[in-house]
Amino acid sequence: MNWKDYFSTSIGKKILVGATGLFLIIFLVVHCYVNAMVFWPDNGKHFTDAAAFMGGNAAIRIVEIGLFAAFFIHIIQSLMLASQNAKRRSEGYAVKAGNKTSKWYSRSMGLLGTLILLFLILHLYHFWGPNRYGQFFDPTWKEDNLYNNMLFTFKELWVVIVYLLGCVSLCWHLMHGVASSMQTFGLATHRYKGMIKSVGMIFAILIPLMFASMPVYMHCLSTCMAH
């Protein structure tokens, strides 16, 4: 069996979804760490320096291409896997097991993933697009505008609410995703299953909570500054 044939089997697809998922988890940790510098009481200086380093580093720019590729593969392969499973289920069982055999969030990975994708499109339009391509449209654009852009973007309450919904979707998605990717790679053996499940849950709550606090904080800051 060659590689192409292997990755078209459901175990091959599961490995691709798990590997890209783990890569995206690492991205989330780094992204959260860099963004958390907005809480530093220095008007965004720490955050701006870190963002300038990330933006100007060639190796990180290459990883960014990998990141977008990982998002793409993760989404496509998950959708293919979900449709394969749905087809098999409709052929195999007369009665739907529903809540009896699995949790709501593990059966709704497609819906939650789609909500995250919609959030991501809006999010890239707010920050990544202007930061990478802002100078093409506005020659006076500077890197340190990223912090000001956050203050400006999160001044709008509806944007804060959409971001909070994005974080809730991310939390539900990770509740199943973290432990599931570990299981794919055989890390969740009988002995460590409970521990991995708990670590996955803590991660799934902590990271989205950190992310959620950022738009709320920036909203408070920008409305305080306006008064």
Segment contacting ligand HEM by CB under 6 A, of 14-22, 51-59, 91-99, 186-194: 51-59
Phi, psi of 40 (to 5 degrees): -65, 130
Any contact of residue 214 with ligand HEM (CB under 6 A)? yes
Alpha-carbon distance 89 to 92, whole Å? 5
Which residues within the stretch 81-120 sit at the binding site for ligand HEM (CB under 6 A)? 116, 120
- Using the rule CB under 6 A, is 50 a contact of ligand HEM? no
The answer to whether the CB of 195 falls within 8 A of the CB of 216 is no
To the nearest whole angstrom, how small is the minimum distance from the Cβ of residue 163 to ligand HEM? Answer: 5
Residue 78 is a binding residue for ligand HEM (CB under 6 A)? no
Nearest CA to 180 out of 107, 117, 87 is that of 107
Smallest separation, CB 65 to ligand HEM (Å)? 10
- Identity of residue 196: I
Please count the residues of this chain forming the interface with ligand HEM, following the rule CB under 6 A.
Answer: 21
C-alpha gyration radius of the chain: 20
Task: With contacts defined by CB under 6 A, name the span among 76-84, 95-103, 181-189, 211-219 that binds ligand HEM.
Answer: 211-219
Shortest Å distance, C-beta 97 to ligand HEM: 30
Q: Do 177 and 109 contact (CB within 8 A), yes or no?
A: yes
* 84 touches 10 (CB < 8 A): yes
Tell me whether residue 90 is exposed, middle or buried, using C-beta atoms within 10 angstroms of its C-beta: 0 to 12, 13 to 18, 19 or more. Answer: exposed
Of the candidates 170, 174, 175, 179, which one interacts with ligand HEM according to CB under 6 A? 170
Residues that bind ligand HEM (CB under 6 A): 31, 35, 51, 54-55, 64, 67, 116, 120, 123-124, 127-128, 131, 146, 163, 167, 170, 211, 214-215
